[in-house]
Amino acid sequence: MSITFYEHSKTFRLDTRDSSYLMAISKYGDLLHLYYGDRIPDEDLSYLIELRDRGFSPNPHEAGNDRTFSLDFLPQEFSTSDSGDYRVESIGVRNADGSRIFAGKAAGHTIYSGKYKVPGMPSVRALEGEGTDTLEIRLKDAASGVSVVLYYGVFEEKNVITRAVRVVNEGEGPIRLEKLMSVTLDFKEANYDWITLDGRHMMERHPSRSAIRNGVQSVGSTRGSSSHQHNPFVILCEKTADEDRGRCYGCSFVYSGNFLAEAERDQYRQLRLNMGIHPTNFEFRLEPGEDFFSPEAVLAYSGNGLTGLSHIYHRLYRENLGTSPYRKLPRPVVINSWEAAYFDFDEEKLLNIARESLDMGVELFVLDDGWFGKRDDDCSGLGDWKVNRHKLKGGLSGLSEQIHEMGLKFGLWVEPEMVSEDSDLFREHPDWHLGIKGRPATRGRYQLVLDLSRKDVCDYIIDSLNRILDEARIEYIKWDLNRNITDVWSGQTDKERQGEVMHRYMLGLYRIMDEVILTHPDVLFCGCSGGGGRFDPAMLYYQPQIWCSDNTDAINRLKIQYGTSFVYPISSLEAHVSICPNHQTGRTVSLATRGIVASGGILGYELNSTVLDREEKELCRKQVEAYKENYALIADGDYYRLTSPFENHYVTAWQHVSANRTQALVSLVLTDTEGNDGQLYLKLKGLKKEAFYRINGDEERRYSGAVLMNAGLPIPGTLKQYEGIQFKLQQIMEGTL
Ligand code: GLA
């Protein structure tokens, strides 16, 4: 059992293989945080609770004339509000009497093996025999009757602690929940940096690192999705931490809607990290007896740098998120019609693209946007999930059959959460979108967002998608979301409950996904939101891979894929080779380099194969062949960022290493060059020091892991700007040095 409670000291201890997490109940019943970090022996840590009479620090009533006890500076597991803790709060609740206070005192706990459940939302699963335990701690505010249950899921071998919170109204009148964080994590000292993944459409998840300063700093999304702008993931790390060294804490949020990650450095240089649903436009009314569950947050600690932290998340999200059999299966190499044809196609054109891609080794043809309703551009048709017979005479099944006859599988694009005003669906149900009565709704990409807080709307989407999946042989669905949400108001919700609509939208979306995706385990679902606008663990629960970005420029992709890799496994990151000059940046990069970069994720193609010449197709075929040969290494191996494209302007390099460290694949791209430059070397990682490796099958030369990791591999001086190269390492024998 990884969870222990010591009655005499009222201390809870949670242990994973390499980390420990401790908390204790104070003499007045408050749940105080003691420690999170490297695994430590069983010792009394009560000395960490420092009591002192400090000016302007209020004392709880129970403390009587003890002026040394104050929640103003004590580290907590779930902060109170309006009772002496002025830091960013874990909960904001308007009680039945109008007060806005929560002063929860420990009121019992339960420890059991297995993982708690988060109803209605995706969460990390415990695998059979994995040894996952749960701790539930109840905090109760006796005066208001509001109770909070804190959930801790301990994944011992995986070095992960998951958190979730449930609020129960045990009082006699209705309460209004205005803020609820899924996790609060207090640190005694705050000399940390924090790393967030930020960006915009076509430039997602660029890491930014800055020192935590006094006061509150935050990132979040109020866009109705986890967003291109900030990812629901943050790292706190020591200032000296780098890829290989230093203490690092990760916090990842399993939710696809609005989120807030806030860090506050207080007057005593202490730090609080909060993560949860963004309180903007969030308000939940709970009648007596009702409860509210927060989404899950996933904490991980690495005492040996950022790579170690990434490895923890990669493994957890590869193995414990969702049930899709594709988590463990090789993913097909797709060719997608979007950049090849956009909206301008008919059956013949698509079949030609598919036929011409056969020589490239492609396995699945994806028909992107434009196949349904009246959809010749992005101004109409969304919501009408019926095939457009002008474009596809034989319907979806006719096209799919012909594609299958060629020996390819068939995939389809959908954007189920949307409606165009020029659509039959809108004409029939003009009130089915999110929109405030009496105000024309704000458009995005000339489309409106369906009101997924409504059951009838969700049922329509479930039926439409299930019908499409029954209508033709479809092995892959790309599920898109091409605008952010505005006008959050539902015609079916009382005016006092409009603050619930945004979260109810997410619950509606997860129900749709439960009923469409989980009932079609044989179909591979790929997430998308204008590229990577909804790249989060909740989406990965349903869709094991996500279209990383609408930006397919190989050089820009180096940065996007680098940032994404801090938390998300390589097997989740769909990357395509597209045509040059690149449609987003106008840059020309060799087909070979485009292949190397796209093979740094789940490889696919997104180009008009009919314009490729024989040599180019042959090169693609070789790329696919090499990629498939290395698939297990790429998708399931340990991933190392060898250089950062943000710090090293010359070389971006990364490495995949097999679990037994007998094989590795090193990839690099020269992003800039100088005339007459000196020799560059690349220091490899994750190899066995004492073993010898051959590189690219060269029989003449062998290198020890120690040499490759300490002296480095020479980068060929003949490489020109934007050229890349891959080295395959194979261990030949163990040796002693
Ligand atoms: C989004 C996606 C693209 C493509 C278009 C179609 O932008 O990210 O890949 O599917 O929609 O409209």
Summarised one tens digit per residue, pLDDT across range 312-355 is 999 999 999 999 999 999 999 999 999 999 999 999 999 999 99
- Note whether residue 325 is domain-resident: no
Residues 704 and 599 in one domain: no
Model pLDDT, residue 302: 98
- Note whether residue 324 is domain-resident: no
- Note whether residue 492 is domain-resident: yes
Of the residues 261, 292, 319, which one is the last residue of a structural domain?
Answer: 319
Residues 443 and 510 in one domain: yes
Average pLDDT over residues 536-553: 98
Residues 612 and 692 in one domain: no
Q: Confirm if 24 and 11 have CB atoms less than 8 A apart.
A: yes
Average pLDDT over residues 85-99: 98
Distance between CA atoms of 261 and 184, rounded to whole angstroms? 10
Pocket of ligand 1 (CB under 6 A): 338, 368-369, 378, 413, 480, 482, 528, 530-531, 547, 550
Q: At what angle do helices 455-471 and 501-516 cross, to 10 degrees?
A: 30
- Note whether residue 123 is domain-resident: yes
Number of domains in the chain: 3
Residues 17 and 118 in one domain: yes
260-290 per-position pLDDT tens digit: 999 999 999 999 999 999 999 999 999 999 9
pLDDT at 734 over 70: no
Model pLDDT, residue 733: 74
Average pLDDT over residues 572-582: 98
- Note whether residue 399 is domain-resident: yes
Bridge-based pairing state of the strands 573-578 and 602-606: parallel
Residues 631 and 716 in one domain: no
- Note whether residue 326 is domain-resident: no
432-448 per-position pLDDT tens digit: 999 999 999 999 999 99
CA 449, 454, 458, 463 dihedral sign is negative
Average pLDDT over residues 576-599: 98
- Note whether residue 327 is domain-resident: no
Q: What pTM did the predictor assign? A: 0.98
Collapsed DSSP state (helix, strand, coil) of residue 464: helix
Residues 233 and 255 in one domain: yes
Q: What is the CATH classification number for the domain harbouring 313? A: 2.70.98.60
Model pLDDT, residue 577: 98
pLDDT band at 625 (very low <50, low <70, confident <90, very high): very high
pLDDT at 97 over 80: yes
Average pLDDT over residues 694-713: 96
Residue minimizing CA distance to atom 1 of ligand 1: 530
Q: Give Dmax over CA atoms of the chain in angstroms.
A: 86
Q: Which of 343, 376, 415, 550 to mutate to test the pocket of ligand 1 (most atoms within 8 A of CB)?
A: 550
Q: What is the CATH classification number for the domain harbouring 721? A: 2.60.40.1180
Average pLDDT over residues 152-168: 98
Of the residues 319, 344, 371, which one is the last residue of a structural domain?
Answer: 319
Instruction: Please report the atom of ligand 1 found closest to the CA of residue 547.
Output: 8
Model pLDDT, residue 12: 98
- Note whether residue 339 is domain-resident: yes
pLDDT at 34 over 90: yes
Residue 374: how many other CB atoms lie within 10 Å: 15
Region of residue 381 (left: phi > 0; alpha: psi -120 to 50; beta: else): left
For ligand 1, the distance from its centroid to the CA atom of residue 415, given in whole angstroms, is: 9
pLDDT at 189 over 90: no
Q: Which residues are catalytic?
A: 480, 550
Residues 645 and 624 in one domain: no
For ligand 1, the distance from its centroid to the CA atom of residue 625, given in whole angstroms, is: 27
Instruction: Tell me the three-class secondary structure of 526-542, residue by residue.
Output: EECECCECCCCHHHHHH
For ligand 1, the distance from its centroid to the CA atom of residue 445, given in whole angstroms, is: 11
Residues 628 and 645 in one domain: no
Residues 421 and 484 in one domain: yes
Average pLDDT over residues 47-62: 96
Residues 618 and 669 in one domain: no
190-210 per-position pLDDT tens digit: 899 999 999 999 999 999 999
Region of residue 327 (left: phi > 0; alpha: psi -120 to 50; beta: else): alpha
Instruction: Please report the atom of ligand 1 found closest to the CA of residue 528.
Output: 8
Domain hosting 115: range is: 3-319
For ligand 1, the distance from its centroid to the CA atom of residue 478, given in whole angstroms, is: 9
Instruction: Please report the atom of ligand 1 found closest to the CA of residue 378.
Output: 12
Instruction: Please report the atom of ligand 1 found closest to the CA of residue 529.
Output: 8
Q: What is the CATH classification number for the domain harbouring 415? A: 3.20.20.70
pLDDT at 737 over 70: no
Residue minimizing CA distance to atom 7 of ligand 1: 530
Residues 647 and 511 in one domain: no
Residue minimizing CA distance to atom 2 of ligand 1: 530
Helices (H), 292-394: 305-319, 338-341, 347-357
Model pLDDT, residue 148: 98
In the DSSP assignment, the letter for residue 229 is S
Q: How high does pLDDT run on average in the chain?
A: 97
Residues 632 and 719 in one domain: no
For ligand 1, the distance from its centroid to the CA atom of residue 522, given in whole angstroms, is: 23
Of the residues 319, 352, 387, which one is the last residue of a structural domain?
Answer: 319
Model pLDDT, residue 735: 56
